[in-house]
Amino acid sequence: MKNIFLFLGIFIFSSLSAQYDNINAGESISFRVHYGFLTAGNATLTTTKTSYKGQPAFYVKGVGKTSGAAKAFFKVEDVYESYVNEKNQPLFYVRNVSEGSYTQHLQSTFNPANNTLVLVDKKHTDRPAKTVKVPDDIQDILSCFYYLRSMDNLKVGSVVKMNVWIDDELFPFQLKVVGTEKINTKFGKVNCLKIIPSVISGRVFKAKEGVTMWVTNDQNRVPVLIKAELAVGSLKASIDSYANVKYPMKFEK
């Protein structure tokens, strides 16, 4: 649960521009996070059409929480926020998390004009703001979700590379579309693209390619299942609800 937005934000794929024309403002997707039959928590992603410092923007919010018995052992309340402009560039990113005794509240303000960002630690206010030079293809952990979903050329054999800003570090990632598969969900079976991201092993994951995910093989590119082999066991995130997706979802009974 602690790393659920690492899965959702980086590996899953606006009405604001043609580049985001497959995603409605007001879209909401929720996931059940579980170890086998045991529900550990839930995660929800929502979108809103808004503005940021006078320019049109897409506001994305991700909320993750533990629930039930898991909450009694390890309480998680994570909030992620991102503002994205019409060119698919992140403008402002927030990670505000509480995970057991660990808390963090970071804000990153991006300046696409000169490929920099300013990082502010809202928890440790004695620490000065830090300016970081970043590549021009930078995405944050939430903006990359919608950037990847908006690609209309994802197919078997596709390889996507990108640089993602996570917390206070830049990470290179690569995703490979390795096949198609029908996945069972609570709504029925749905045809999906099977995607394997290359991730950093050791800190979180058991192996370099320890994560597999499935997104609908249609214009929505909605994630329906993620499996992650962690150092401490296997974690899944399964689609639990969805609303205001742009195109009808086609499930088979």
How confident is the model at residue 204, as a pLDDT? 46
Token readout for 56 is: 């049109």
Quote the CA–CA distance of 233 and 5 in Å, as a whole number.
Answer: 17
Q: What is the pLDDT of residue 18?
A: 31
Reduce the DSSP state of residue 145 to 3 states and report it.
helix
Q: What local confidence, expressed as pLDDT, does residue 20 receive? A: 60
Q: Where are the domains of the chain?
A: 4-243
Torsion angle of C-alpha atoms 192, 78, 63, 65, degrees rounded to 10: 80
Q: What is the pLDDT of residue 199?
A: 55
pLDDT mean for each 10 residues of the chain (253 residues): 50 38 87 87 93 93 88 87 91 93 95 96 94 94 83 84 87 88 97 82 50 91 88 84 94 92
Q: Select from 10, 27, 17 the least CA-distant residue to 246.
A: 27
pLDDT at 13: 37
Residues 95, 75: contact at Cβ < 8 Å?
no
d(CA 199, CA 50) in angstroms, rounded, equals 33
CB atoms within 10 A of CB 207: 11
Rounded Cα distance, 36 and 127, in Å: 42
Q: pLDDT value at position 130? A: 96
